[in-house]
Structure 1
Amino acid sequence: MNTERDTVEQPDDGDFLAEDEVAHVVEDEGAEPMSEDDDAGGASAEDDDDIDEDGEGAEGSAAGGEEIAFVDDSVQGFFDHREPVYAVSLHPSDPTLAASGGGDDRSYLWRIDTGDKVFDLGVHTDSVVAVRFSSDGQFVASGGMDGKLFVFRVDTGKLVQTLEGPSEITWIDWHPKGNVILAGSEDGSVWMWQIPSGNCMNVFTGHVEPVTCGQFTPDGKLIITGSADGSLIIWDPKTATALHRFTPQDSRFHQSAITALAINKDSTLILSASQDGTARLLHINGRILASLDSHQDSVEAAGFSNHLPYAATGSVDGKINIWDITSMRLRQSVQHEDAVIKLQWHQNAPLLTSCSSDMTVRSWDGRSGECLKIWRGHQSPILDFSVRGDGGVVLTGSDDGTALVFQA
């Protein structure tokens, strides 16, 4: 099997130094709608349902509307789970490899070009809710509701470490510059280990309810976590000190559970999303910059564009709102037919990809709101996806027990 790997050194102390990189500060006056002469909204979901990009009908019904034609736009799939696939991940450098984990308590390494299983990594005793490759692609980790995190070598499938300590694991993230892994837990704690030694580097305690989301900043110097208790904390990874804390006690901040967060490429801005239907733009120095409030239900996805000063939020209301973060104004609003689960901007273009409970993956132009492509193939809601940086390949995991590969 092709398992290209690049060797990356462990992060030195410099990667964990906190910096106050203050740009400009915008007063928190709430989101403003765009004026009518600004860019118009995107294409409607109803139009896209009738005709796909190639002009072919996507879904049709027989006389009387009793039968629905099934459309499968996927180019490959993996079908061994046979239970909901909760987590998927594309290898960072080998275009043929992917990992998936699911409700069958198993994780797999497999090929997206053939659909063949490479390794069965199944050692959990409860559902696998997170899978992730290390930044150099040398390791792959799986985290489960059994509270265990397993780390394997990608080239051999060999188990390198069994990591324990948290209760149910909720998410995992690798350091962007070295083999250090972070895991959030149902018990409100966050754990950090060094790989392959398995040395526990720090335990972060400060949340009092499940840690729902978290990650290293792109520069590797800080950690950001969000919790069901409505708090968001900026941590120093080296000392496990909470540098800044946002809580519902501040009336300007979220008043309910944090559901998702994103960090811009410069590691200066944070976008937080909440069950209360709001989003907040925060500065890494601890300031609330803006309220981005236009959704009617829980906001479940967030992301920054690397190409233009845009950010996006996706909600259970089916909407994706695209914001201009220089003016703090709503630029576009586009629509899925059901809850938005996840979104990701393309690395070098003002485009984004989203997946939804409506069983579709969609590609959008963030400037115009135009829906560029709709991919169908799942028969139940999509629970997770992984997108190649250029948006050319999308890997999805679904409640229907399959993982599918879509290609632009």
Structure 2
Amino acid sequence: MANLAPATQEGSTEEDLEYLNEEDVGEVIDDEAGEPMSEDEDENEEGEENQLLLVDDSIQGFFDHRQPVYAVAIHPTQEAIVMTGGGDDKSYLWRADTGEKLFELAQHEDSIIAVGFSADGQFAASGGMDGKVNVFTVATGELVVTLDGPTEITWLNWHPRGNVLLAGTEDGTMWMWQVPSGNCMNVFSGHVDSVSCGQFAPDGKTIVSGSSDGSIIVWDPKTANANLRITGEDARFHNAPITAVAIHHDNQLVLTGAQDGTARLVHIGNGRILASFDNHSDSIEAVGFCRSMPLAATASVDGTISIWDVTGLRLRQSVRHEDAVTQLRWHSSEPIFASASADRTVKVWDARTGECLKTFRGHQETILDFAMTRDGRTIITGSDDGTSLVFSI
């Protein structure tokens, strides 16, 4: 195992504000200059912040949710069709090119935290904190079947080829259903806490799940047998809840991220922990592999994104947002990725150089999720401000 030491990063620290007496209430310390800042200067900074909030780089939007938009998905073949779900217990199908609402879909009894399209685009699914998964026909918006999980749904993932749907739940189990029949094909039981993340491998022959109990399990979808289990009992692995997982397109490598800011590169076939990617000071929220180069990325609440050389097992670049990074997505065929943040921006990066190619503004609150078209030219976001915006690169 290659154990990589954290890279040294320079970070700014906030000095405590000191109010000496009532007459000095209007003065605060300017961190950079070390000099008192007048009320006028303070107002100027607030004005600049307000001006940034007024900047809107979006070309279209959808505004029916009225509550935080937690999940976004783009149709696999008709990329103008978008699905969003949110804190209003509702999901919608709408058009990214016009902002037109196509269908308001059958409502859940609690927030919708996951949405997704089947591989052929015929069906769309929403997963809710009410423990239910609703499946719809995309062409009509008709509810096809409601699938009952035992507890709150934590994520959804469609099989990469067939109409089979996988969901993780809060009670530590995963459920796999056939669509449209709704038949339960398998229940996967092995974690002792919430299944926080998981997905089919690109070839559909393996499932990898991560849990708040600090373990990952590699499953056989046909038998529900656990082929590999790695826990914190292995001192080389995570000793904290798993928050994110990604499977390499070769179906052999898994990248995991944890609440303590650590990441691990694991070989599915032999269970070897190949590398410890430890460069963050706070929880990792998203991980992913580049398809065109041997690169991977980890994104953290500490505001940084680390770009790793998967072959050399070393840190290649580190880039930064102004606040927590909530999500990242790689381009389907280029060494480019996009990231979303609590700083209300989406940024597009060149992974080879760490250069920020584009910054998109328009949201008033944290961006919670986003999806990107296969050609990388369009990004669609969901935000705490209750809106979904469309950005064109």
TM-score, structure 2 length as denominator? 0.89
Note the 1:10-49 alignment, pairs <5 A: 28-31=1-4
Question: Is contact 1:34-1:331 (8 Å) kept?
Answer: no
Cα distance 1:357–1:63, how it changes in 2: closer, same or farther (>3 A)?
A: closer
Find the aligned partners of 1:239 and 1:193 in 2 and give their Cα distance: 14
Aligned length: 357
1:307 alignment partner AA: S
3-state SS in 2 of match to 1:30? strand
CA displacement 1:171-202 (0-9 Å, x = unmatched): 00000011000000011110000001111000
3-state SS in 2 of match to 1:248? coil
Of 60, 77, 90, 2:61 maps to 77
Is 1:104 matched with 2:84?
A: no
Give the equivalent residue in structure 2 for 1:124.
108
Give the equivalent residue in structure 2 for 1:65.
45
- Give the superposed CA RMSD: 1.5
3-state SS in 1 of match to 2:44? helix
Is 1:302 matched with 2:275?
A: no
Deviation at residue 62 of structure 1 after TM alignment:
10
Is 1:209 matched with 2:209?
A: no
Deviation at residue 95 of structure 1 after TM alignment:
2.1
Is 1:194 matched with 2:172?
A: no
Find the aligned partners of 1:185 and 1:87 in 2 and give their Cα distance: 16
Is 1:381 matched with 2:366?
A: yes
Find the aligned partners of 2:149 and 2:6 in 1 and give their Cα distance: 46
Find the aligned partners of 2:299 and 2:183 in 1 and give their Cα distance: 37
Give the equivalent residue in structure 1 for 2:384.
399
Deviation at residue 266 of structure 1 after TM alignment:
1.0
CA displacement 1:9-37 (0-9 Å, x = unmatched): xxxxxxxxxxxxxxxxxxx13125799xx
Deviation at residue 225 of structure 1 after TM alignment:
0.3
Q: Which has the higher contact order (CA 8 A, sep 6+)?
A: 1
Give the equivalent residue in structure 2 for 1:88.
72
Of 346, 368, 375, 2:353 maps to 368
Give the equivalent residue in structure 2 for 1:291.
276
CA displacement 1:319-368 (0-9 Å, x = unmatched): 10001011101000000111111111111111111111111000000000
Of 179, 182, 185, 2:163 maps to 179
Question: Is contact 1:187-1:210 (8 Å) kept?
Answer: yes
Question: Is contact 1:152-1:159 (8 Å) kept?
Answer: yes
Find the aligned partners of 1:317 and 1:121 in 2 and give their Cα distance: 36
Find the aligned partners of 1:404 and 1:166 in 2 and give their Cα distance: 33
Is 1:223 matched with 2:193?
A: no
Is 1:167 matched with 2:151?
A: yes
Find the aligned partners of 1:62 and 1:72 in 2 and give their Cα distance: 24
CA displacement 1:88-132 (0-9 Å, x = unmatched): 101111021000000000000011111111001132010001110
Find the aligned partners of 2:221 and 2:120 in 1 and give their Cα distance: 20
Is 1:144 matched with 2:128?
A: yes
1:29 alignment partner AA: A
CA displacement 1:120-171 (0-9 Å, x = unmatched): 1132010001110001100000000000000000001111111003200000
Question: Is contact 1:33-1:329 (8 Å) kept?
Answer: no
Cα distance 1:33–1:252, how it changes in 2: closer, same or farther (>3 A)?
A: closer
Question: Is contact 2:129-2:154 (8 Å) kept?
Answer: yes
Question: Percent of pairs identical after alignment?
Answer: 61
Find the aligned partners of 1:65 and 1:253 in 2 and give their Cα distance: 45
Question: Is contact 1:353-1:391 (8 Å) kept?
Answer: no
1:360 alignment partner AA: T
Find the aligned partners of 1:96 and 1:349 in 2 and give their Cα distance: 21
Gap regions ≥5 residues in structure 2: 10-40
Give the equivalent residue in structure 2 for 1:337.
322
Find the aligned partners of 1:65 and 1:317 in 2 and give their Cα distance: 23
Find the aligned partners of 2:128 and 2:251 in 1 and give their Cα distance: 29
- Single out whichever of 147-156 and 115-124 deviates more from structure 2: 115-124
3-state SS in 2 of match to 1:326? coil
3-state SS in 1 of match to 2:4? coil
Larger Rg: 2
Give the equivalent residue in structure 2 for 1:54.
none
TM-score, structure 1 length as denominator? 0.85
Of 303, 322, 328, 2:313 maps to 328
Find the aligned partners of 1:359 and 1:196 in 2 and give their Cα distance: 38
3-state SS in 1 of match to 2:371? strand
Find the aligned partners of 1:127 and 1:304 in 2 and give their Cα distance: 29
Give the equivalent residue in structure 1 for 2:248.
264
Give the equivalent residue in structure 2 for 1:52.
none
Of 265, 276, 279, 1:281 maps to 265
Give the equivalent residue in structure 2 for 1:350.
335
CA displacement 1:263-300 (0-9 Å, x = unmatched): 11111100000001100000012111110111111111
